[in-house]
Structure formats: C-alpha cells, structure tokens
Amino acid sequence: MQEKVFRDPVHNFIRIDDPMILALIDTREFQRLRRIKQLGVANTVFHTAEHSRFTHSLGVYEIARQFAAHLINFKTQTPGDGGWQPEERRVLLAAALLHDLGHGPYSHTFEHIFKTDHEKYTQQIILSSETEVNQVLRTVSDDFPSQVASVIAKTYPNPQVVSLISSQIDADRMDYLLRDAYYTGATYGMFDLFRIIHLMRPYVGGIAFEDKGMTTVEDYVVSRYQMYGQVYFHPVSRGMEVLLTHLLERAMSLYERSKTDSFVDGHFVSEALVPLFEHQISITEYLALDDATIIANISNWRNAPDRILADLATRFLDRKPLKSIEIADDVRDLLPKLVELIQAAGFDERYYTAENDSFDTAYDSYNPNSKKTKTPIEVIQQDGTLVELSSESTLVQALRGRTYGNARFFFPNEMLSKHADWDLMAPMYEEFQHYVRNGKLIRP
C-alpha cells in the first residue's frame, strides 16, 4: 500500500505502510479512544491537556515503528544469538497500537471505582470474535489475536517484543512523557528520543542500551521523575480525582438503595451505566462507555434530589476540587479530630474527606522478591557484557528506589473559609484552621 501519513505535534509524522494497521485504526473499538482523555481530569489543572488515548496510541505505534526500523540493523544471524527477528515487526506494531484499547472513561479513577483492569479488557477486546479489531487481526492468521494479546499480558515468548511495549523504558512511557509534557507545557518532561532509539541493542533477554549514551538514558529517567512530581501527582488534579471518586461512589450507593428503598428512584442512572453498576457488563456494553457517557450522567446529577449527589456533581462540573494538606506520619493521629470538625460543619465524611497516598519510584533495579517486579534498564558495555543502569550511573543510583509523591488529606474548601462570628459554623472552621499551616497538617 502507499504510505499513509498522520501529522503529529510530538513526532511530526506518524507513518503507516501496513494495511492491517490502517484497518485497525478504522475499527470502532480504536476510534472510541478519541473520546477518552489521556490524562483524565488533569485538564482542570493544565488547561491544554485535552489529548486523547487515541493520539497517545498512535504515538506509541510510531515509536515502536522506529524501534523496528532501527533493530533491523541487528537482525539475528544464527538461532539463539539474541538478534532481532524481523518477522516480529507486525506483532510489535499491533500491540503498540492496541495497548490501551481497554481503558474506560477517566481511566485510572474508573478502574479504582469499578474494579476493572484495562489490560485485561484490552486482551478481551483483542480476543473477542465480536470485535472489529479481532476480525482485522485474524486476516493475518487465526492465532495472531492471541499473539498480540500475549504481548499485552507479558507472556509472549520473545522478551524483546514485550520489553519494547512494557518495561521501565518502553514505547508507551516514551510517548506519554513527551506527549503529556507537550500538552501540559511541562518542558522538564522532554528527552532525546532519537538518541535513545539509536542506542538500543537486542540481546537474548530483551533490549539493552550502549554505555556510550548513558547520559541520554539518565535524562529519560530524570524526566519521568519530574513529570510524576509536577504533573501526574499534582494536588489539585488529585483533588478532582477524589471528587470524581466520591461522586461515583455516591451514585452507586443510591443505585443499590433503589433496589430496596421505594423512595430512591434508580432511573437517575442512564441505561448505558446500568450494566456497570450491576457489575455484569459485556464487552459490547463496556465499549459503549467513554468520557462523554460519564459527563452526561454527572450533568443530570447536578439536579438530583439527593443533596450530596447534586452537590458533588456541581463541584465537579464547576471545578471546585476538594482542598488538601500534606500529612506527615508524626501528625497522622490528628486526622480523626479534623474529620470530627468536618462532620460538625455538616459534611458527610464518607464523601467529603479522603486520605490519598500517591507514591512511585523514579527507578527500580530488579528485585525478584518485589510484588511488582520491574525489568531493569540494561547497559551493554564495549566488551558485550551487560550491567544494570544504576550500577554504572551515579545519578540513577541516587534515584534508585527513591519514592516521590506524598500522602494528602482532602476536605471541603469551606473549612478554610473566614466566617462572621455569628455564623454557626465559624467555631468549627476556626478550630480546623489551627491544624493547617502552609498546606500541611501541623500540631497546634
């Protein structure tokens, strides 16, 4: 086929020369990703962060395409030599394109509330004979859908393909760091993608990077560290996520009550959300959900007869996030008192307070005893031996295992208000504020 080109602000051009890839892009399941924001509620903080899972997925495909174009220079010569196998290109590109297919609306907040797993849904969508994606993949071979799904599941027999899609330095992370930095205006998320690709070398156990370019790989690790600290863990964005979480929890609670309480009308939930609330949802019903489905319901809930649901919906739509303070371990015992004051001020603590811990590590070396083992970044030396990145880089050594993020307590903004002495709530507000100083919980 004649090469198809998509213009892209991050990669300039996204090139497609395989009719199967183009057909996958045109499927209804992939087009749905246009209607799911990549960063969820982060656009309420970074107003230009309106990019979608669709644009990110195309970007991951393009980086994987560049991987394959580079690795062809190191193709296998004899069985078991650890060289790149050119026939893996198609499964690599398909997995890169489809890796986020199973994301629900508002992505990770959605997963937390409804106990879904986007990777498992991605595999189900790929494997289901009911989907257009499955039908396109089967044009390659009957077992091609299972091959692509196994890359997502990290069980594909070739570790090189898996690590290119899912590791500490992969096509997914590379695109979302560059793309999220571009759309949020956070320049500290940038790194030299071209240089990193040209440092890649295949080996039997996966992908390594030439030691002469270790500084470039260090830049990537630092970029990830900075993006998490400044963008992904932003306290206002987390406040909006907590608000959305409580809003959906309240909706689910009311829906459950409607089954036994005649005074609660369960029809406040749209037909599209009912299977989700019933926890019996088919692939077809799941694929009908997107950000617009959730927003349409929340817009209706603004006028709900339930006071809490209506208030939470209004706060979410009008961007009135819950405020927060940082919690240190030595003052955590003060939280029950804060909750007591919030309750006394008339707020239901189940929906207006939350403890939210957001932590991640800048870089993890391999630890076989860890519950979430991460593959290390391997550096290949001049003599061909492999060493783990942090053993060669003093910068990465300093970041290895280091956590970033913090624990925060969320509460209604009203608790920080200044009220007249005659206001019945004034004493609660004033006492609450004795525990807050410079955004942190303190002991008065």
**What is the per-residue DSSP string for 328-386?**
-GGGGGGHHHHHHHHHHTT--HHHH-EEEEEEEESB----TTSTT--PPPEEE-TTS-E
192 with 120, same domain: the answer is yes
23 with 130, same domain: the answer is yes
Supply the pLDDT for residue 366.
42
Is the separation of the CB atoms in 287 and 32 below 8 Å? yes
Work out the mean pLDDT of the chain and round it to a whole number: 91
| Domain stop point among 215, 233, 251 | 233
Average pLDDT score over residue span 417-443: 83
Q: Give the predicted TM-score (pTM) of the model.
A: 0.93
Is the separation of the CB atoms in 109 and 241 below 8 Å? yes
Residue 271 confidence (pLDDT) above 60:
yes
Residue 95 lies in a domain: yes
3-state secondary structure 18-79: CHHHHHHHCCHHHHHHHHCECCHHHHHCCCCCCCEHHHHHHHHHHHHHHHHHHHHHHECCCC
Residue 383 confidence (pLDDT) above 90:
no
Supply the pLDDT for residue 359.
56
| Domain stop point among 286, 315, 344 | 315
Residue 104 lies in a domain: yes
Supply the pLDDT for residue 371.
47
Residue 293 confidence (pLDDT) above 50:
yes
Residue 193 confidence (pLDDT) above 50:
yes
Q: What percent of the chain has pLDDT over 90?
A: 76
87 with 178, same domain: the answer is yes
The C-alpha atoms of residue 184 and residue 205 are separated, in whole angstroms, by 36
| Domain stop point among 315, 331, 351 | 315
Number of domains in the chain: 2
pLDDT in tens, 112-134: 888 889 999 999 999 999 999 99
What is the extent of the structural domain holding 264? 242-315
Report the CATH number that the domain containing residue 254 is assigned in CATH: 1.20.1250.30
